[in-house]
Chain A
Amino acid sequence: MAVTPVPPEVAAELRKGGKVAVATAGVAAADLDELLPGVAYEAADVDVMGPAPWAVDEPSAVAVVARTPTDLRRAVALGDALPDAHVVAVIVLESPQWCDAPGVRLSPGLGRKFLRDLAVSRHGKSGWRVRTRFSHPRPAGEVAAAVARGFGAHQLGGYALPAAGLAGSGLAAWRPGDPGARFSDTHGPAPDRADVPAADLAVRAAVAPGAAAEWNDERVTIVDRDADPSWARIGAPGGYGVLRDVTIEPDAVPPVDERSVNPRGFLKTPAKGYGTLERHDGATVVRLEDRTLTRLPGSGAVTDADIGRLRRLRGVRVTWRHTHGGPIAAARTVASLAAAGVPMLCDPVPDWAARGLGPGLTVLLTGATERELADDLRREEHSVRLRRTALGTHGTTARWRSLAAGSGVPLPPDPTVSVVMCTRRAGLVPFALGQIARQRGVDVEVILGLHGVAATAPEVRDAVAGFDGRVTVVEAEPEAPFGVVLNRAAARASGSFISKWDDDDWYGPDHLADLVLAQGYSGAELVGVASEFFYLQQIDVTVRRNWTSETMSDHVAGGAFIVSRSAFEALGGFRPVPRAVDVQFFQALLRAGGAIYRTHGLGFVARRAARGRHTWQEPVGYFLARARDQWPGFRPSGLMDAGA
């Protein structure tokens, strides 16, 4: 690819005083001369380098050069190995359209107190460049981690336990973006920190055949990962046996970096037709008609920038001769596209690929037809099913939980959700609790706020008694403002997230699971759905509004979001006012520096009943004027169905 050189003043700064240590990720070594004109450097590629790759002792500066934010996140996983320097630069050559300038928040306990200069600039057409200068040499990995984190909304760059070890070269993709990952050679030991090993569980690269697979640290559980057998080897005489002998299963596939390869940027109404995932000129590419839209890495490490190039496609047709890497790379490529919600049509999946993808994804991939994908709503439903399954099977979090579970390493509990549902209408309590009861894939408790309704009202009493789960009932006097009632209920919540719930709206069975999933990949404090579907009860019509979803936003549907309990508590909860509590809270959160992410709106239908009986005050024509689609009757998306 054509590379934009760094500006002369940057080159001058890097040139000062000796050799620059360059860590590359996803960038060909040959491109560095063009990028860093006149700079003396020594380069190492994070995808092949060992624990001590640079010969230069005290580099004048360190530059981390990544093709995309996704590539940068692999460098972060090996941050341990990057040297210290006064000047550290991070250059990302291209980023997807939704990627804003990175914030660079170094930990106050680490490098921030030594930071003397910081500059963030656009690099080329869609890249970003960060330059830091410290009063004392600082580990370059710390800067790489801050920049990688700064591209997203996560307050913390780490992952939940287990603490990960990477034993051997080429494993950075197993823990992308995790500054806590520990890097060693294939024999161990895992480095110690305060006399205990710095990892709970390590993946280890395949050792050469015949070499002793010894491991020197019995305190750390090790999981061996086979190298991807190349098609050349499989294709050689007798080579087909390799396919039989190599373990191909989802856990053998390097995980999808869910914090950068995810549904963000999904387009509901694509402008283009179908691309084809295929082999062309010796590379894995997606082509549209006779043009190559993007060349994908042979390893299957699809990046966010690659996904960005596919967003305008209605879908991608998958052929299974697409990769030069091997069967694991092939599965990894398709799993990545699925995690990003790229709608795919698929030839029958060969057995080796099905083993790598897992049964859920395999079934989904072959289930869609071109006729269905021609309809924007059906297409989006297909995309949502793909992302859920792919992220739940192949995401980094899912992968490490699966590895840990298989190795007996202890795991923290999954996040829990407290549903706060306040109502003035006893008659709706059975309906609302029914909607909550059908939530699946999350651990839920209900805080039922009764706003001028007695807990002893028969409908309430029976519904609560019949609810299979934890319910806490909170009563409030009828004259209390809605915000006060909500806060009183929320004060009883014990979950990691608080979910606001409306008493008369419809929620798909995966509503909460989808929100928790989106929170995991977006890192936003508050995640909600796009307020798309409305059932206009008076005229028996369902309308769909045309919101952009899978995007950072300033608002979501008021009755369908989750917010982290810590953020909720930090802001003190809802304003003690009778209405518009959601909008007030969104504004407070954004002004405090928080993020709101809007995921898809297919699992939620707001009921719009007669005026005066509902918080929505707009006349029915308001919804009609803004509808992109409408159908007679109650016609939610296919994802509202429990069988979906």
Chain B
Amino acid sequence: MTVPTGTPGTPGTTDGPGASGASGRPPRIRHNDYGVLAPPEPGTWRPRLSVSVVIAAYGHQDKLDLTLAALAAQSYPSHLTEVIVVDDGTEPALRLPDIVPENTVLLTTEPGRRGRSDARNTGLAHATGDVVHWLDADMVTFHDEVEEHMRWHHLADHLVVMGYVRYVEHRPGSPTPAEVHAAVSAGAADKLFDEERSEPHAWIVELAERTDGLRTAGDTAFRVHVTNAASVNARLLREAGPLDTALVLGEDTELGYRLAQAGAAFVLAPGARSRHLGLSMMMRDKERIRRYNHAYVPGFIPHMRWLRAHPRRQWPVPYAEVVVEAAGASYEDVRATVDGVLAGSLHDLVVTLVGPWDAAREDRRNPLHSTHLDLLLLRGLYRGEPRVRFAATVPPTAAPAPYRLVCPPGWVPGPETLRRLVEHAAQHGHGLVSVALDEGEDAVLAARLEHTGAFARAALVREPGEPLDTAVHDVSGTHWMDGASLGFLPAAEAEPPKRGRTDDPALTREMARLRADNARLTETLAARGGSGAPAAVEPTIPSPRGRWFRTSRR
């Protein structure tokens, strides 16, 4: 490590990645703050990337005709655009109308593999564009809708862009495809429908208002991956995708979540306007859909903490993966660590034990002299424990789990340790929390809590030779914490958790810590209330009301 010895380096405090970046490097999006990106004005730039518009359709030939008519009038260059319509088994089959974009193909899903997700995945499999733009088959896009999406995608290769949809009343036969084509071409799509009576995508508007247009949305931004009008970088989509066909509803939200784990940032493009013909299913059936989704979706999206409040349940996708390197460590040390993890109040996790499990074979005649005896014991101990799995190497990513804790064997978290640690990371949006456990002459032994999405994005934006943690700091922030204060103990000092014991030493210790915390806070409060404290000397001239109030109480 280089240690500064002369004049100090750059002084500073909260300089964002934009300020710290080397010149010429593309700006790095921190959390979901895409404000560092400056897209060119529509019509003033030269596009380079190709786009595949993927439309899953079932029935409603008339609406599809309008959708294609509008797409045929886009400002985005046609040689960079392909349109893939997937007929999800309509009878009679859908056909391509007269007014279609230049490069349009019509596919059909196979019987037995049908449904919205299958149809979209079929389209995705055929897509050749750099960007995939999901579109519903009942959408009339404005003339620059595709361009509005694409100007963002040219700035970063890990974006999900959501357009601005309004829902309009629609009577079959009006307007005609020719009218739509003419109006969109003329940039007058807003004259086609009764805009007064149209409605926005209400929850997205609310989310945008609350989060400065998603810029402060952090880990919740993924929700705007809605397949009626979102576009995604194709490489990112193939890495994270495709849509989970096991989900019949909420499948786009779930893919949005996985995109976030792959490093995606989510942009709201109010300029990418489109009109949805008729109300959405969500608007028609809000409560029943919510009921349905709340049963199916939270298991796959650990960030939905409020729907996963149960203290003991397990879910298909855990909130955290805890990686413990078993190779080279003693059975006792690994056991102490894993038992401590499994006994913690953060129950929503899995443990990955890493070691050469295939090489660990019992010597059946002389079992005590088996090679890798400690590994054998660990496998025996945790066989059948659903929250422990065995792996030969550390998986490249914790995805779909949003957090990974790498904990050195022999260090034992207390009952509340992991909950507090992950909560701290989530609250501050840290991409990496290093927990100092112990130190030698020149190195500090640390546990690492890694945010899956932040590490994925860092890997995407990192420059040759740049340490990954440095890129993580730019995109999400890195932070150090003290292991002792969090409740980590060396195995030699930690007692094994015991069932039903109210005098569980770990719990006793936790209570002592809380008592000490309480005492410290009380002391601080007392000091504030006493002499020399800000609270005690509010230096204002009392307002008449305050004075009257005080007098009247005397």
Contacts and interface: CB of A to CB of B under 8 A. Distances in A.
Closest 10 pairs (CB-CB, A-B): A621-B482, A309-B539, A625-B482, A638-B11, A624-B482, A625-B485, A621-B436, A97-B537, A634-B4, A640-B8
A603 to B, nearest CB: 11
Interface residues of B, number: 44
Interface stretch (B337-345, B405-413, B438-446): B438-446
Contact of A506 (B8, B443, B446, B536): B8
Contacts of A639: 11
Task: Name which of A605, A630, A631, A644 has the most chain B CB atoms within 10 A of its CB.
Answer: A631
A291 B543 contact: yes
Contact of A308 (B10, B482, B539): B539
A539 interface: yes
Contacts of A309: 539-540
B19 to A, nearest CB: 12
Given A293-B540, A621-B484, A632 B439 contact: no
Interface in A539-561: 539-541, 543
B473 interface: yes
B348 to A, nearest CB: 26
B12 A635 contact: yes
B534 A271 contact: yes
Contacts of A622: 482
A513 B446 CA distance: 40
Contacts of B439: 538, 610-611, 619-620
A377 interface: yes
Given A431-B5, A537-B3, A98 B532 contact: yes
Interface string B20-35: 0000000000000000
B483 interface: yes
19 contacts: A97-B532, A97-B533, A293-B541, A309-B539, A312-B534, A378-B13, A506-B8, A535-B4, A538-B442, A539-B434, A610-B439, A619-B438, A620-B444, A621-B436, A621-B437, A621-B484, A624-B480, A635-B9, A640-B8
Interface in B247-294: none
A633 B481 contact: no
Contact of B11 (A291, A543, A635): A635
B551 interface: no
Interface string B510-540: 0000000000000000000001111011011
Contact of A267 (B437, B534, B540): B534
B479 interface: yes
A636 interface: yes
Interface residues of A, number: 54
A311 B534 contact: yes
B411 to A, nearest CB: 12
Given A434-B6, A636-B8, A636-B11, A312 B539 contact: yes
Contact of B541 (A291, A431, A611): A291
B541 A292 contact: yes
A641 interface: yes
Contacts of B12: 631, 635, 638
A377 B11 CA distance: 11
A630 B480 contact: yes
Given A292-B541, A624-B482, A637 B1 contact: no
Interface string B389-400: 000000000000
B552 interface: no
A432 to B, nearest CB: 11
Given A538-B442, A538-B444, A641 B7 contact: yes
Contacts of B6: 431, 434
A17 interface: no
A639 B12 CA distance: 10
